[in-house]
Structure 1
């Protein structure tokens, strides 16, 4: 249940995801799945862009984590580390879902450490520690290790002002809509599993995508509720992408027909910067004054 927050400042997924290499570390995942062109009611292009959950044609992302789409019954869509060092999503079979909490009455679904070093989702006795309350390892049956948190929560360590660490119950999530406050933006790295579950964390820092005023090495990118600071990518204009911050700062991932392309940011209503080479500045939903240059 050890975890450490590596500040990426946003929940935008990127192929070069900065992650800890040791068991139990915590990083921040996607806020959204990129920027999607809205087809409009008339089946034509409405001229707006949606910085929502998107989805793309890249095989690294086999399913949609926030929407829990693309998997068969009995499977969950979760983020995972890929063999090439990147991050993607895959369908994982498991005994239960840690967000839906579909265990029998009196039990909860959580990640359980097993003898031999593996970790699995299992139904176990529900704990009593509430969200935000201190937690510790439960008096669990032989061969099992889990914490004292109530259903839907996980015991996560957090750095303290004195340089030490303390453990608190944090809410497990698939998407920010699962969080009562904050955002679904922290990944737990647990020993003995390829699954990367998410918990709710503090809201990402807001920023100006034109001023790029985030603290280095973060960049400012459009997200579902306005621009936020996030770990920055390096993909150039026109490169294929899946999430907004795979692209270089000053650009975003625009999804059309299931395929993403890095496009330069622009100010709407004829502001500066504008678009070059005949491209049109199309407004990004929920990102006031911010658009993307699209053909």
Structure 2
């Protein structure tokens, strides 16, 4: 067998769904080698690896084939796909696809699939491994429509590990991506609490900083729906701008929002007094940056403008008791 080589590929990253990030890797051929996958983002709650590959050689032999491939999850956990013939050259000769979850050399879960996979050379099969921060691992796959294979709990969060794909033999990979989720609260949580916000604003002499409550809106509901009647705080980011901190008032996706989460950011527009570039996180945690802005009038009225969504929202500074 040739020495094991490791390839680190250039990546193409794209957002998948709300809170999800999907990273595609280019097609590659592995021969007794492995490819290192992107590390899971910090605070990931879910991860998914999908690989579609075909072994160039996969001879039908008694027992397990000498060629195979696997998704390595780290910490000794790996999911292998391997041809298996328990009755080679007999009247009931049947070639199966064996999917196994190992920890080191110990078998955690195993299923021999007689249908769904194509256990032949040059036949493409998809293997999907989904895992979460609670230690749940679900495996699916097939040559056409992926089917569930098994699901187990290993009582370990593998989203802190470095995943990879490895081949024993030559493997053509036609599709490979990694997807991860972060909960909104974990992604946007800051160190601010209601108590330290209050103490900070009490001692602040910056006229922009303060607690602002929902005042009113001018909104076309055909273009946008108000996520709540927010109570927010505006505090310095330690540089030239200001962080917008959520305190209360969410209605859409209410359970995902807690006091102290980042709701947006204000960056002053040079040469224009009390005018700001706006970054805003909507009710689903999606970041909005384009064609939106903010302003403050009379050191009391904070206005957010979303012209493409035909929406203007105003907030009034609340005196601290």
TM-score normalised by L of structure 1: 0.26
- Structure richer in helix, relative to its length: 2
- Higher percent of residues as strand: 2
- Higher Rg of the two aligned structures: 2
Q: Which has the higher contact order (CA 8 A, sep 6+)?
A: 1
TM-score where L is the length of structure 2: 0.25
